[in-house]
């Protein structure tokens, strides 16, 4: 050792093959006494838009640049140690220069493929912390970006064996949530379907939420269905129905947006019983009167505000990514709307079309149906309050 | 920079490589309110100063959180940091424990082994090594890490005591360091396979106001050592057990590293 401090190397006897491959290469650097246990590089792949891939890599960059990797495990770690230590002590700017010379080699060693096609990575940012405490390893963050095929589905990851172990992770599109993470031994390969990491176009998000909105009314939203049926039963003529539906729609659109934006928040324990109460109200009024009162429009508007808060609760629970906020919100609201129109169309086809001109329509259709709805609404109100 | 370089040079000249690496659980806060998040990093380094070791499923046998309601496995995703990030349970002492898989280190020269055994109070191993007729270079040791941290959630209750959680080598605090002043120090028991382990060094790292000091104490016949708490701060205890390795493995030595972290308010 020629007067130098002793050197030692650590390796793994983990039970699995990849653990055995090698771990915890501990480097005791003779000339400065800094010993940093190596840890796997962590690679996170995400998309900020269709076809725009982002790769974040956090790693002990000095070890990569100095060439301290698994192949040195036994004998040659000491050979790179002085270089590692020199790099470790550099300021971020100085080390950046050393890294830039190494970057092409690193990129060559990041074998990232989408549907088998190599992703052409370009360094977008290098975040190197201050040298700080030399007793600690410095973990830097590299950000790469690449234009890729927006229809790609399968990701393949392989980190050059010389760079050691890695963890490959996928972030959900439009969020930082990690939906996949796997440890990859030195030289090993991992393949994964992009799934929810794959960003959707605004049109696809719109279509998805349209379906969610529709399904929230038909078949899931029996309470909303009964409310709309209640509006229908007031009068078999089109005009009162249009007024009511427009008033209701305008109102729930407002509170849906305000609720999802978090500007207005009312707990479900208040909203849900009131929605039940709104059903009782319109049904009872159908029995008491046969034409549209002016104040009924105001009341329907108020109930629309309530139902909108209920919709907001559903949409918030379902999740709306910031990247597609508007298309998701509009899609959902339109889906709700289509659901309601479907209910009205069904009512019209079942009873309205055939019986609305009959003298007995009100007595034998509207009043008994409204009474039944009022009872159901009252029952819901009770169980939602308790 | 110049000063740093000078210190580096000095270190190089006197050649004081501490060969041991402690491994510990480092909570973000040692006291949290019920319902708050409990976060902790795994750390590896020296003198209570370490690098983050991320959550890696392959690297541990058991990673648990034990509270009043019992134990639960820490689940996260590979690469996660902090590796522990959970909502705290109701009040109680929360024990975080991490039992690693085995790793191997190779001694390239005799001096490294001498320094290591001296630092960890394992000097008997040197004579044993010679008595076993083992080579003085290129021999290996496998090691297992058994790290533990004590976090107090909410006020201290009567039953809030540290207890063995089933790691092969384990430090157990015999009093709750969060319960109030312990003028006589904190008694801790070192357990090997559940039984008290006598006459073993326990290194005490105390970090307070940017200062670090290291003292050593030894366990008595009952496996108990007393940790002086004067001055308070954050504490890391470390004890090493070194055994001859199973001859079939091809290794010479097999070690277990127990650590315990907690904090004590300055009285």
For chain A, 386 residues long, give each residue's pLDDT as a single digit of tens.
Answer: 333 333 333 333 333 333 323 223 333 333 334 567 778 899 999 998 888 999 999 999 999 998 887 644 332 345 788 888 899 999 999 999 999 999 999 999 999 999 999 999 999 999 999 998 887 889 999 999 999 998 888 999 999 998 988 999 999 887 778 989 999 988 899 999 988 888 877 788 888 889 988 988 888 888 889 988 888 888 777 788 888 888 888 999 899 889 888 888 888 888 889 889 989 998 998 888 877 777 888 888 998 998 898 888 888 777 676 667 888 888 888 998 899 889 988 888 888 777 777 777 777 878 888 889 999 999 999 998 88
pTM for the predicted model, two decimal places: 0.66
pLDDT in tens, B131-141: 999 999 889 99
Are B223 and B174 in contact, with CB atoms under 8 Å apart?
no
Q: Report the alpha-carbon distance of residue B190 to residue B241 in Å, rounded.
A: 10
What pLDDT, on a 0 to 100 scale, did the predictor assign at position B229?
94
How far apart are alpha carbons B162 and B147 in whole angstroms?
Answer: 14
Burial of A96 (0-12, 13-18, 19+ CB in 10 A): middle
Q: Which residue of B has its CA nearest to A90?
A: B1
Question: A117 vs chain B: nearest CA distance in angstroms?
Answer: 26
Q: What is the model's pLDDT at position A323?
A: 66
Average pLDDT over chain B reads 89
In whole angstroms, what is the distance from residue A74 CA to residue A302 CA? 76
- Residue B5, pLDDT score: 40
Among B56, B79, B138, which would you mutate to test the A interface (most chain A Cβ atoms within 10 Å of its Cβ)? B79
pLDDT of residue A205: 81
Q: With b meaning 16 or more CB within 10 Å and e meaning fewer, what string describes B95-107? A: bbbbbbbbbbbbb
Residue B115: which region, alpha, beta or left (left: phi > 0; alpha: psi -120 to 50)? Answer: alpha
What does DSSP assign to residue A361? Answer: I
Question: What pLDDT is recorded for position B18?
Answer: 41
| Rounded average pLDDT over B199-221 | 95
Residue environment code for B178-187, b if the CB has 16+ CB neighbours within 10 A, otherwise e: beeebeeebb
The pLDDT score that the predictor gives to residue A14 is 37
Chain B closest CA to A33's CA: distance in Å? 5
* pLDDT digit string, tens, across residues B166-208: 999 999 999 999 998 999 999 999 999 999 999 999 999 999 9
Are A10 and B53 in contact (CB < 8 Å)? no
Q: Could you count the other beta carbons within 10 Å of the beta carbon of residue A34?
A: 22
Question: Pick from A19, A28, A167: which is nearest to B17 by CB?
Answer: A28
Distance between CA atoms of residues A84 and A63, nearest Å: 6
Query: What pLDDT, on the 0 to 100 scale, is given for residue A196?
Result: 83
Q: Is B247 exposed, middle or buried (0-12, 13-18, 19+ CB in 10 A)?
A: exposed
In B, which residues are within 8 Å of A2 by CB distance? none
Place of tokens 């200062």: B211
Q: Which two tokens stand for residue A153?
A: 């589905």
Q: Pick from A1, A36, A42: which is nearest to B51 by CB?
A: A36
Q: Which residues contact A270 (CB under 8 A, 6 or more apart)?
A: none
Q: Which residues contact A109 (CB under 8 A, 6 or more apart)?
A: A159, A160, A162, A163
Kindly indicate the confidence band of residue B40, based on its pLDDT and cuts at 50, 70 and 90: very high
Decide: helix, strand or coil at residue B34.
coil
């Amino acid at each position: 050792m020629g007067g130098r401090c002793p050197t030692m190397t650590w390796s793994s006897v983990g039970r699995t093959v990849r653990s055995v491959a090698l771990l915890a290469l501990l480097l005791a650097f003779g000339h400065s006494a800094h010993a940093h246990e190596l840890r796997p590089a962590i690679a996170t792949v995400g998309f900020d838009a269709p076809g725009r891939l982002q790769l974040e890599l956090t790693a002990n960059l000095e070890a990569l640049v100095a060439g301290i990797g698994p192949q040195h495990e036994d004998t040659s770690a000491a050979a790179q140690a002085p270089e590692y230590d020199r790099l470790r002590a550099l300021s971020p700017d100085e080390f950046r220069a050393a890294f830039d010379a190494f970057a092409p080699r690193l990129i060559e060693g990041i074998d990232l493929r989408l549907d088998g096609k190599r992703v052409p990575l370009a360094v977008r940012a290098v975040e190197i912390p201050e040298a700080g405490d030399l007793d600690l390893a410095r973990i830097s963050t590299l950000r790469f970006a690449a234009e890729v095929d927006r229809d790609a589905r399968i990701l393949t990851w392989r980190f050059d064996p010389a760079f050691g172990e890695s963890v490959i992770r996928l972030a959900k599109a439009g969020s930082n949530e990690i939906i996949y993470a796997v440890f990859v031994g030195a030289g090993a390969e991992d393949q994964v379907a992009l799934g929810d990491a794959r960003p959707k176009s605004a049109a696809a998000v719109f279509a998805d939420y349209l379906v969610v909105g529709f399904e929230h009314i038909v078949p899931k939203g029996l309470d909303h269905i009964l409310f709309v049926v209640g509006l229908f039963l007031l009068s078999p003529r089109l005009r009162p129905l249009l007024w009511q539906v427009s008033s209701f729609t305008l109102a729930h659109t407002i509170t849906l947006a305000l609720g999802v934006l978090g500007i207005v928040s009312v707990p479900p324990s208040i909203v849900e019983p009131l929605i039940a109460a709104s059903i009782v109200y319109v049904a009872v009024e159908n029995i008491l009167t046969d034409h549209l009162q002016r104040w009924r429009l105001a009341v329907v508007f108020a109930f629309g505000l309530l139902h909108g808060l209920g919709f907001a609760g559903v949409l918030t629970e379902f999740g709306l990514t910031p990247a597609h906020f508007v298309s998701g919100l509009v899609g959902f609201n339109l889906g709700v709307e289509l659901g309601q129109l479907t209910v009205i169309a069904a009512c019209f086809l079942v009873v309205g079309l055939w019986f609305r001109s009959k003298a007995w329509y009100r007595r034998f259709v509207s009043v008994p149906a409204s009474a039944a709805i009022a009872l159901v609404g009252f029952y819901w109100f009770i169980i939602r309050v308790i | 920079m110049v000063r740093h370089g000078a210190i580096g040079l000095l270190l190089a000249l006197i050649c004081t490589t501490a060969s041991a690496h402690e491994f510990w659980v480092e909570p973000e806060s040692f006291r949290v309110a019920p319902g708050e998040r409990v976060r902790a990093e795994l750390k590896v380094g020296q003198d209570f100063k370490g690098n983050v070791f991320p959550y890696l499923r392959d690297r541990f046998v058991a990673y648990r959180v034990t509270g009043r309601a019992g134990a639960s496995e820490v689940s996260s995703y590979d690469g996660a940091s902090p590796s522990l990030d959970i909502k705290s349970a109701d009040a109680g002492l929360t024990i975080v424990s991490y039992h690693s898989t085995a790793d191997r280190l190779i001694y390239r020269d005799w001096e490294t082994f001498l320094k290591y055994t001296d630092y960890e109070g394992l000097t008997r191993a040197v004579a044993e090594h010679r008595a076993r007729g083992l080579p003085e270079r290129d021999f290996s040791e496998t090691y297992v890490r058994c790290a533990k941290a004590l976090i107090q959630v909410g006020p201290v209750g009567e039953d809030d005591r540290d207890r063995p959680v089933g790691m092969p080598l384990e430090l157990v605090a015999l009093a709750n360091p969060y319960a109030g002043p312990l003028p006589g120090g904190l008694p801790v028991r070192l357990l090997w396979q559940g039984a008290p382990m006598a006459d073993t060094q326990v290194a005490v790292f105390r970090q307070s106001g940017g200062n670090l000091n290291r003292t050593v104490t030894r366990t008595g016949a009952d496996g108990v050592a007393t940790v002086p708490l004067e001055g308070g701060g954050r504490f890391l205890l470390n004890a090493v057990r070194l055994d001859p390795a199973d001859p079939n493995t091809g290794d010479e030595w097999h070690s277990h590293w127990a650590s315990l972290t907690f904090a004590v308010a300055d009285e």
